[in-house]
Amino acid sequence: MEKTLNWREFLITRLVRASGYSAIVFVALIFFFLLREGLPTLGEVPISTLLSLRWYPIENYFGILPLVTGSIMVTLGATMVAVPFGIGTAVYISEIAPRWMREILKPLVELLGGLPSVVLGFLGILVLSPFVRTLLDLPTGLTALTGSLLLGGIAVPTVVSIAEDALDSVPRSYREGAWALGATRWQTIWRVTLPAAKSGVLTAIMLGVGRAIGETMTVMMVTGNAPVLAVTPGSLFSPVRTMTATIAAEMGEVANGSIHYHTLFFIGMVLFIISLAVNVAASSVVFRSKQRAERVLS
Amino acid sequence: MADKIIIENLSLTYADGVESLRNISLNVPENAVSVLFGPAGGGKSTLLRCLNRLNDLTEVRASVGRILIDGENILDPKTDVIALRRKVGMVFARPVVLPMSIRQNLTYGLELAGENRKSRLDEAVERSLKLAAIWDEIKDRLDDPAIALSGGQQQRVCLARVLALQPEIILLDEPTSGLDPISTGKVESALQELKKEYTVILVPHSVQQAARTADYAAFFLQGELVEYGEGKTIFTTPREKRTEDYVTGRFG
């Protein structure tokens, strides 16, 4: 009996460990693959072409700047939507709503997070983009703004869910301490509860941004897909094309091993690096504040 | 001595059906340390939390009776709760320093009240830290995070934070339950100073502390006020058998 138990223990431990390591191995392999397929671009396409403003692969124009700026613009727009709405909803659910309301809202928000993005894209084309077009009197409703609004909506559930957990884990005694000092509910939320949940709230924002920057289907459907440099505020109201949409739209039709093929992987690399940078930035902020707390506690 | 707080026939039942206070009537004199003591679950903390209306935020099913502070019924729905909480400060069992520097912890309440003149704030910081008997220990590191202090220091910072608001009444809910004897002694002697200016209501964490600090003492058992009177009387010649049994350690 004892022997079988030991044996089982041994096996299970190994299995758990193996699956833990495999996550690292997979990420490393993906990165390796990206590098292998994407790096040749640097030899095939001159840097000046890569940094030019024209993306027209059929005639060998491989300027990726319009795509990068398109992605950044849409993501920034989405963040502007998702952060205030997300944090606001999280604060409402965890701090203000009565219990019965909380029990309805929380599952509802999580359900929203599971909505397939194609469905949202569909709604975007049919409802949101005509609305944007008529409201702002634009030639087309398929703009960076439309994409931002929709992407923001997609990121909201992520932000809400994680930020709400973070707020919920702030000890009740913090709030009571502030109330007892004569703080109003709002002052307590703004000056005590939110700062105490800061690292969790930051994580929520970063994951929301991550969700937005990597989203493909919706932006492909509603941003118009015109590879035009998007740096002025005005370009928020014109069509743009993102990196993800470009890869998704063109990868199926490209000759394996061609310059265009390598360049698409190169774009994938850039995307990978950007989201890595966002994550590292986020965790270093969280890490720094944690380290400080640990230092002063010891 | 004048009565600062008059509690009349106060009863309170929590939302889960627990009856926490049963028909309590009690007069709390000013410029004295009044002690509410008794075994856990007696309603002492609940009573404290009624005095600054912190119970508003827990689910209370029913409460009846009146609490008069300076002649005004604070249980009246029209009471300005924020102003009340500035007048009736509270220190909790576990020190709750807010996630900011020591100085900010102290000025927080004042800033909420709209005070932002730096000279006034600095003055309040120094005065209240001195009153709480901790100024000499931490005056050189007021900008460190408050969480870096020891438990005893944190608790005195919390006391100072309440004092900075210049309340009239100070409620302390087992303020020394997590402290070592030296820190406890410092807090207790601070209380003896404080009562010259304030009305102090203390829920002690032991009968011994009750006996050491009480000018007046009230013995609570299962939501009922068993006996109330001068500290000396309660701890030497109580009227009620139950009080005597508890004070002498026969149950509890």
Phi/psi at B78 (5° precision) = -85, -5
Taking alpha carbons only, the member of A214, A233, A215 closest to residue A143 is: A233
Number of alpha carbons in the 13 Å side-chain half-sphere of residue A38: 18
- CB-neighbour burial class of residue A286 (10 A; exposed 0-12, middle 13-18, buried 19+): middle
**A198-207, A262-271, A275-284, B237-246: least confident range:** A275-284
Residue of higher predicted confidence among A30 and A286: A30
DSSP for residue A238: S
Calculate the average pLDDT of chain A.
86
- Check A176 against B147: CB less than 8 A apart: no
Predicted local confidence at residue A298, as pLDDT: 39
Phi/psi at B37 (5° precision) = -135, 170
Alpha helices in chain A (DSSP H): 2-38, 40-44, 47-50, 65-91, 99-113, 117-123, 129-136, 144-168, 172-180, 185-188, 194-196, 198-214, 217-222, 243-250, 259-297
Task: Kindly state whether A19 is in contact with chain B, defined as any CB-CB distance less than 8 angstroms.
Answer: no
- Check A173 against B96: CB less than 8 A apart: yes
Predicted local confidence at residue A296, as pLDDT: 47
**Cβ neighbour number for residue A280 with a 10 Å cutoff:** 12
- Check B92 against A176: CB less than 8 A apart: yes
Predicted local confidence at residue B131, as pLDDT: 85
Chain A interface, best mutation among B94, B96, B147, by max A CB count within 10 A: B96
Phi/psi at B13 (5° precision) = -125, 130
Amino acid at A287: F
Predicted local confidence at residue A233, as pLDDT: 80
CB pairs under 8 A, 24+ apart, for A257-262?
A259/A41, A259/A44, A259/A45, A259/A60, A259/A62, A260/A57, A260/A62, A261/A37, A262/A37, A262/A38, A262/A40, A262/A41, A262/A44
Residues in chain B within 8 Å Cβ distance of A182: 82-83, 85-86, 109, 112-113, 165
Task: Kindly state whether A176 is in contact with chain B, defined as any CB-CB distance less than 8 angstroms.
Answer: yes
Distance from CA of A179 to the nearest CA of B (A): 7
Calculate the average pLDDT of chain B.
87
Residues in chain B within 8 Å Cβ distance of A179: 54, 57, 85
Classified as helix, coil or strand, A29 is helix
Predicted local confidence at residue A290, as pLDDT: 58
- Check B96 against A196: CB less than 8 A apart: no
Q: Which residue of B has its CA nearest to A188?
A: B112
The two tokens of residue A277 are 């940078």
A99-113: average pLDDT = 89
Q: What is the pLDDT of residues A130-186, one digit of tens each?
A: 998 888 888 888 888 999 999 998 899 999 999 999 999 888 888 888 888 888 888
- Check A293 against B158: CB less than 8 A apart: no
Closest partner CB to A196 (pick from B82, B94, B99) = B99
Confidence of residue B217 (pLDDT cuts 50, 70, 90): very high
**Cβ neighbour number for residue A62 with a 10 Å cutoff:** 24
pTM over 0.90: no
Distance from CA of B242 to the nearest CA of A (A): 33
Q: What is the pLDDT of residues A212-259, one digit of tens each?
A: 888 888 888 888 888 888 777 888 888 888 999 999 988 888 888 888
Q: What is the pLDDT of residues A9-35, one digit of tens each?
A: 889 999 999 999 999 999 899 889 999
Predicted local confidence at residue A1, as pLDDT: 55
Confidence of residue A297 (pLDDT cuts 50, 70, 90): very low
Predicted local confidence at residue A26, as pLDDT: 93
Confidence of residue B64 (pLDDT cuts 50, 70, 90): confident
- Check B82 against A191: CB less than 8 A apart: no
Confidence of residue B34 (pLDDT cuts 50, 70, 90): very high
Amino acid at B126: E
- Check A187 against B112: CB less than 8 A apart: yes
Residue given tokens 């302390």 in the structure block: B172
Chains A, B: CB contacts within 8 A come to: 70
- Check B82 against A182: CB less than 8 A apart: yes
DSSP one-letter string for chain B: --EEEEEEEEEEEETTS-EEEEEEEEEEESSSEEEEE-STTSSHHHHHHHHTTGGGGS-EEEEEEEEEETTEETTSTTS-HHHHHHHEEEE-SS----SSBHHHHHHHHHHHTT---HHHHHHHHHHHHHHTT-HHHHGGGTTSBGGGS-HHHHHHHHHHHHHHT--SEEEEESTTTT--HHHHHHHHHHHHHHTTTSEEEEE-SSHHHHHHH-SEEEEEETTEEEEEEEHHHHHHS-SSHHHHHHHTTS--
Closest partner CB to B57 (pick from A179, A181, A192) = A179
Phi/psi at B144 (5° precision) = -75, 155
Chain B interface, best mutation among A102, A174, A181, by max B CB count within 10 A: A181
The two tokens of residue A218 are 């919706």
Closest partner CB to A184 (pick from B52, B82, B144) = B82
